[in-house]
Amino acid sequence: MLPDSPLGRLEWAFRESLVIFGILLLWVGVAIVATLATRIFGITVEATIELIGGQAVPPMAELLRLTEHLWEAVVPITLVTATLYVLVRAGTLLIDHYHRTAR
């Protein structure tokens, strides 16, 4: 529910913007973890294959290159997630307003 005072509304807006920034940080963290895990896995597999005497597998190199495109998805996924959050939050505020004025 929105506070009545201007200072309360400013604090509420600040908290909501922190939530949206947290959503961005979440997806950046997911991308970092996925990139690191894929690269560590790829390096380990390539090192093991070379240690055995084989040659590096081209699909593994391709997998490592695909993780570079993961960063291009972070901003759109963040926008979709933040939009869903804002829509749900706005719906909650509208329902609260309806219940408050219906009495």
Each of the 103 residues of the chain gets a pLDDT tens digit; together they read 677 787 888 888 888 889 889 998 998 898 888 888 887 877 777 777 777 776 666 666 666 677 777 778 888 888 899 999 988 888 888 888 888 888 7
Q: pTM of the prediction?
A: 0.67
Nearest Cα to 79, choosing from 21, 35, 16, 29?
21
Name residue, tokens 């998805």.
73
Q: Are 26 and 80 in contact (CB under 8 A)?
A: no
Name the DSSP letter for residue 102: H
